[in-house]
Amino acid sequence: MIHEDMICPFCGCLCDDLVIETEGTEVVRVDNACTLGSHKLMNAGKHRLKAPIMRDSGRWRDATYEEAIEYTAGILLDADRPLLYGWSSTQGEAQGAGVSMAELLGGVIDSTTSVCHGPSILAIQEVGHPGCTLGQVKNRADLIVYWGCNPTEAHPRHMSRYTTYADGYFLENAFRDRKLIIVDVRKTETGSIADEFIQVKPGGDYAVLSALRAIVRGREDVVPPTVAGVTKEQLLRVAALCKEAKFGALFFGVGLTMSPGKYKNVRNAIELVDELNRYTKFTLTPLRGHYNVYGSNEVFTWMTGYPYAVDFSRQIAFYNPGETTAVDILARKECDAALIVASDPGAHFPKKCLEHLTDIPTVLIDPMHTMTTPLVRCQIPTAVTGMDAAGTAYRMDGVPIHVKKFLDLGYPSDTEIITKIFEKVTEVRHP
């Protein structure tokens, strides 16, 4: 069977033009997706956990969904400070149920944002965010800047769908008319096709952004001959390119958010974009990784007022990144039960945090065996959103997309499982 206009549930590009061919419960062909997307989709039915598993005196055994749900509700109810973490590769509906459950439990809910674009959000909370949808960039931008990211590897279709290689309504010959600036600490494949490649010494982003801001403001006199390894000559050239552009679009990744300076780097980038808007049109977009990490920020925000790291222990929604973020809570050994949904802290978190996860009852909701599996006491397999479950996801620019289902492998969706756990919790802890 051929399924057209399907949505790729991998990265924040949420490409929606995929053609997927299935035979029974097998995906036999994927057109239009990049290798990352194809790989995920082609392996849709493989490596799935068949049923929930639970640890019994150190060994895994199969369990029923009812048993696993009962167990999960039990550990959450027993806990004084449960942590509900992950949420970036699942549907918005599941995220919403998660927030309600965290609220009722008086727990903490956090998404992978706190280890990727959390700093971008902190910066936005200080100075705002001049942004736009990706189609606006595609149709108008004659200057693209990628800062601290490598779209060729991490968002392989970003350039063909939305920037460098995309047709633009207001551009005669989009590819020729667009300029590309790449800023990075090393020359990646994306850097080799750039009109300007700016190689910044590690940790030098803040200084380079400041120098560009000074030049744009007409204060090139304060800029020294080199800034973090970048010559003044090049900075002048780049600032001029930005001011001359009719529409500039800056994209940035964790190379900016997680390098020294963190959220201050992003703040500086936003203020540079602000400044440029006094001369021309300029926008900025964080390149979000997980396909629905932005959705978790949206859902958390309309339900609690805060985009991530929300602590309900005081019955109000309390937010203080650095205190209420998952890594911090685990490092302080504060939580006494954890539910991990659609994410893989086992592959990313510091050792200290993982040790604590193994010390407390932890449940993982994930379709496959992951690096987190060895750390948990119970894993509940679910459908993969965008393959055997439908739901809402938010693209990196905030456009909500309905992610579709094209297979039926008989697994329950994340929303179904979380709702069931929530119902059990509600039976004991009435609202």
Partner 1 sequence: MNELLVKNAYVIDPINHIDGEVMDIAVRDGRIVEDVGPQAEVIDAEGCLTLPGGVDSHTHVCGTKVNFGRYMSPEDMRAGREVRRGVKHATSGYSVPTTYANSYRYAIMGYTTLLEGAMAPLEARHTHEEFSATPLQDMMANTLFDGNWGVMKAVSEGDIERVAAIVGWTLSAVKGFGIKLTNPGGTEAWGYGKDLRCIKDEVPHFGVTPAEIIEAMIQACEMLRLPHSVHLHCNNLGTPGNYACTVGTFNLVPDLNKKRQSLYATHVQFHSYGGSDWKTFRSKAEPVAYTVNNRPQIVIDMGQVMFGKTTTMTADGPMEFNLYRLHHNKWSNHDVELETGSGIIPVLYRKKNLVNSIMWAIGLELGLLVKDPWRCLLTTDNPNGAPFVKYPEIIALLMSKKYRDAEFATVHRRTESRVDLPALDREMDWNEIAVMTRAGQAKALGITGIGKGHLGLGAEADIAVYPLKVGEIDPAQEYQKIIDGFARAKWTVKRGRPVARNGEILVHGENTTIWVDPKISPEHDMSRDPKFTEMFNHWYSVRMSNYPVQDEYLKRNLRIETEATI
Binding residues for partner 1 (CB under 8 A)? 4-5, 7, 16-17, 92, 96, 100, 103-104, 121, 124-136, 138-140, 161-162, 167, 169-170, 246-247, 274, 277, 280-281, 283, 297-298, 301-307, 312, 314-317, 319, 392, 394, 398-402, 431
Q: Is 13 in the site for ligand SF4 (CB under 6 A)?
A: yes
C-beta of 119 vs 156, nearer to ligand SF4: 156
Amino acid letter for position 290: H
Identify the DSSP state of 343: -
To the nearest whole angstrom, how small is the minimum distance from the Cβ of residue 33 to ligand SF4? 4
129 binds, among partner 1, ligand SF4, none (CB under 5 to 8 A by kind): partner 1
To the nearest whole angstrom, how small is the minimum distance from the Cβ of residue 15 to ligand SF4? 3
Q: Is 289 in the site for ligand SF4 (CB under 6 A)?
A: no
Give the number of other CB atoms < 10 A from CB of residue 300. Answer: 27
Q: Is 33 in the site for ligand SF4 (CB under 6 A)?
A: yes
Q: Is 213 in the site for ligand SF4 (CB under 6 A)?
A: no
- How many alpha carbons fall within 13 Å on the CB side of residue 409? 28
251 binds, among ligand SF4, partner 1, none (CB under 5 to 8 A by kind): none
301 binds, among partner 1, ligand SF4, none (CB under 5 to 8 A by kind): partner 1
To the nearest whole angstrom, how small is the minimum distance from the Cβ of residue 38 to ligand SF4? 7
Amino acid letter for position 151: P
d(CA 340, CA 85): 5
Q: Which two tokens stand for residue 96?
A: 């919403």
The answer to whether 330 touches 324, Cβ cutoff 8 Å, is: no
Tell me the number of residues near ligand SF4 by CB under 6 A: 13
Q: Is 295 in the site for ligand SF4 (CB under 6 A)?
A: no
Q: Which residues partner with 249 through β-bridges?
A: 144, 283
Q: Which two tokens stand for residue 330?
A: 């685990």
Give the number of other CB atoms < 10 A from CB of residue 65. Answer: 17
Q: Is 241 in the site for ligand SF4 (CB under 6 A)?
A: no
To the nearest whole angstrom, how small is the minimum distance from the Cβ of residue 394 to partner 1? 8
d(CA 130, CA 285): 8
Q: Which stretch binds ligand SF4 (CB under 6 A): 9-17, 64-72, 246-254, 321-329?
A: 9-17
Q: Is 11 in the site for ligand SF4 (CB under 6 A)?
A: yes
d(CA 337, CA 77): 9
Q: Which two tokens stand for residue 163?
A: 């920037």
Q: Which stretch binds ligand SF4 (CB under 6 A): 28-36, 178-186, 252-260, 310-318?
A: 28-36
The answer to whether 256 touches 209, Cβ cutoff 8 Å, is: no
DSSP-assigned states of every residue in 67-111: HHHHHHHHHHHH-SSEEEEE-TTS-HHHHHHHHHHHHHHT-EEEE
C-beta of 308 vs 349, nearer to partner 1: 308
d(CA 62, CA 32): 38
d(CA 164, CA 381): 39
Nearest Cα neighbor of 147 from 272, 308, 55, 33 is: 272
To the nearest whole angstrom, how small is the minimum distance from the Cβ of residue 97 to partner 1? 12
45 binds, among ligand SF4, partner 1, none (CB under 5 to 8 A by kind): none
In the range 136-195, which residues lie near ligand SF4 by CB under 6 A?
A: 155-157
Contacting positions for ligand SF4 (CB under 6 A): 8, 10-11, 13-15, 33-34, 36-37, 155-157
